[in-house]
Structure 1
Amino acid sequence: MSQLSSQTNQPVQGAVYMLGAGLTFAITNLLTPHITYTLGVPSTAVVFWQYVIATIFALPLIFRIGFGALRTKHPFAHEMRAFLSALGVQVFAFGFASGVPLWQMVALSMTGPFFIIGGATLFLGEKVTIQRLGAALVGFLGAILVSGIGTESFTWAALLPVIAAALWGTVSVMTKYLAKEEAPESLTLYMLVLITPNHLLIGLILGALVTLFPGSLPGSLANGFDFVPPGGDALWLIVLLGLVTAGAQYFLSLAYKVADATYLQPFDDLKLPLNTLLGWIVLSQVPSPLFWPGALLILGASLFILRQESARQPRLQAA
């Protein structure tokens, strides 16, 4: 979620850091379904305590950036960006809690770039090209295959990672807007500082909805939000989850500090095969036959967009 600008050009180190981030995020994707779906801890509580712990572990990074980076002309935009990011995490975790398999969660969450295209076109005035539109359509075709829409295996919960991707795509569009005036360090610090309070805010909103409209929310959300941390094995697993989440943030910040985002994107896309393999080995989750062609379409469309954007940037700078 946090991206620091590249001050140097160290592609090998950047690739290693990005792969480290991918591995740590894969561990969070193994821990989350076990804590929520297997142990039965509500996803809202898991995510809240996960980010409380992650923020504590991320304090050295916060102090390294310095609170002077909080000076801004756009406080509301920073808050909305953090809120939507937190909401995306909550929706994503609820997908795990609802029993959506890891391979499906990760593949469908990679539809984010296609939402970014739509948001950048509508709100940032970026031009729609045939290439962009075609890539978006191909990517969503892949998402339809992965989700299993039209087959007996399809469940509405499979749409949760797509919703999370749409929320994170909106965050990326807001980041592009703010980056015109805000330093990368400010964008990173605001996300680190505001993400946990916004998870608390979401929990309070859920609690109010349960009180006002009992029985209206699905699954574990119907129980509202529990501020008491769980006990036993679940507590230690959440502590580990928070530690790994903080580690992923460190890896990401290091990667974007030494290499450009366009160069790093293909290494980020390796999270799909990595998560699929770990889900198969650790969770015994075997992807459906439709997963493979769908995943290839999503990956291919994402890499095509990356190539188009990489070629587009020099032209914009020259203009």
Structure 2
Amino acid sequence: MTSIDLKRNGAVAGPLLMIAAGALFAGANTAVQAAGMTFGMAPATTAFWQYAVALALAAPMLGWSSWRTRQPGWHILRVGFAVIGVQMWVAGLAVVPIWQAIALILSSPLFVTLGAAFFLGECLTWQRAGAVFAGAAGGVIILAPWTDSFSLNALLPVGAAAFWAASSLVTKHLAERDSAATLTLYLLVMLVPLNAGFAAGAGFAISGQAVWVVTLAGLLTALAQYALAGAYRLTDAAYLQPFDHVKLPLNVLAGIVVFGFAPPGLMWLGASIIFAACAWIWQDET
């Protein structure tokens, strides 16, 4: 197989894995919402069990070979960026309206695209940049953040987006030498004790009825992380970012189906723009 064939295969399989990861994350997020809204679990407790279950399910399937890595420092840095992003995100949700916060988090692919060009040496074409901005515009149309007043507190979700972008860039760097299984395993192993520390105050108790919801969230989270790592192994991080926007309409759709929640924006128009941007960049790259 020639290098052109390998690149073409990555240009097809990479986005498919990115979209699959988005769908799996949407399912996991819906299960996490159900744990809190239906069963009254504290967010920190839910997060701990979500990743603990994910680790318990993933570790036996990934095997001992997944522990091999020559980049432990980069794995620690990846998780560190992700944890800081999570804390800024949680702090932002306490002071910023939810739809505005989610709209601002759409800046993460923009940070990844620029970071991939400056730090990873990837080619930043106008097509890639245009697709990312078009996807972000579609997300803004869905969320309609202009219905809420703006404040400096909005910098918290933007900061979360920047740190999550940094985590994605480190993931891409790690994926050059480590397998998707290794990336998934080290992320889960490091996150579980950190989540345990955050959950210590809220407690670790879980009701019998909530067990199946948390188990589902853990399973979907493990699969999503594996798919995400696989996508970054196959193709450029900048190319994948427009497809990262697909998770927004998927999350909104899951919320509508399960809880009957709908954002104030134009769901189908925004989703159409996102999917059109993905189809355009996909056709251009392949």
TM-score by length of 2: 0.68
Instruction: Please report the RMSD computed on the Cα atoms of aligned residues, expressed in angstroms.
Output: 4.8
**Counterpart position of 2:185:** 192
Alpha-carbon distance in structure 1 between the residues aligned to 2:115 and 2:60: 34
- How far the C-alpha of 1:37 sits from its partner, in A, is 4.2
Relative to structure 1, the CA distance from residue 236 to residue 284 in structure 2 (aligned partners, 3 Å threshold; closer, same or farther) is same
What are the within-5 Å matches in structure 2 for residues 146-295 of structure 1? 146-152=142-148, 164-179=160-175, 182-185=176-179, 188-201=181-194, 204=197, 225-249=201-225, 260-261=234-235, 271-295=247-271
Task: Give the one of 117, 125, 135 matched to 1:121.
Answer: 117
What are the within-5 Å matches in structure 2 for residues 76-95 of structure 1? 76-88=73-85
Per-residue CA deviations over 1:52-83 (Å, capped at 9, x if unaligned) read: 1110100123316443x22x1x4322211123
Counterpart of 2:209, as a letter, is D
Q: How many residues align?
A: 278
What are the within-5 Å matches in structure 2 for residues 52-131 of structure 1? 52-63=52-63, 65-67=65-67, 69-70=68-69, 72=70, 74-88=71-85, 100=98, 105=102, 111-126=107-122, 129-131=125-127
What are the within-5 Å matches in structure 2 for residues 21-32 of structure 1? 21-32=21-32
Classify the secondary structure of the residue corresponding to 1:230.
coil
Alpha-carbon distance in structure 2 between the residues aligned to 1:169 and 1:260: 18
Per-residue CA deviations over 1:76-103 (Å, capped at 9, x if unaligned) read: 22211123234556666888999947xx
TM-score by length of 1: 0.63
Q: Which moved more, 1:135-144 or 1:48-57?
A: 135-144
Q: Percent identity?
A: 36
Unpaired runs of at least 5, structure 2: 1-5
The answer (yes or no) to whether the contact 2:19–2:244 under 8 Å persists in 1 is: yes
Relative to structure 1, the CA distance from residue 273 to residue 146 in structure 2 (aligned partners, 3 Å threshold; closer, same or farther) is closer
Per-residue CA deviations over 1:5-39 (Å, capped at 9, x if unaligned) read: x8xx6999999877765554332121111223454
The answer (yes or no) to whether the contact 1:85–1:168 under 8 Å persists in 2 is: yes
The answer to whether residue 20 in structure 2 is matched with residue 44 in structure 1 is no
Counterpart of 2:72, as a letter, is P
Alpha-carbon distance in structure 1 between the residues aligned to 2:116 and 2:127: 15
Counterpart of 1:150, as a letter, is W
The answer (yes or no) to whether the contact 1:48–1:199 under 8 Å persists in 2 is: yes
The answer (yes or no) to whether the contact 2:138–2:273 under 8 Å persists in 1 is: yes
Alpha-carbon distance in structure 1 between the residues aligned to 2:98 and 2:250: 17
The answer (yes or no) to whether the contact 2:13–2:231 under 8 Å persists in 1 is: no
Counterpart of 2:26, as a letter, is A
Counterpart of 1:200, as a letter, is P
- How far the C-alpha of 1:115 sits from its partner, in A, is 1.7
Q: Which moved more, 1:145-154 or 1:110-119?
A: 145-154
**Counterpart position of 2:3:** none
Alpha-carbon distance in structure 1 between the residues aligned to 2:10 and 2:28: 27
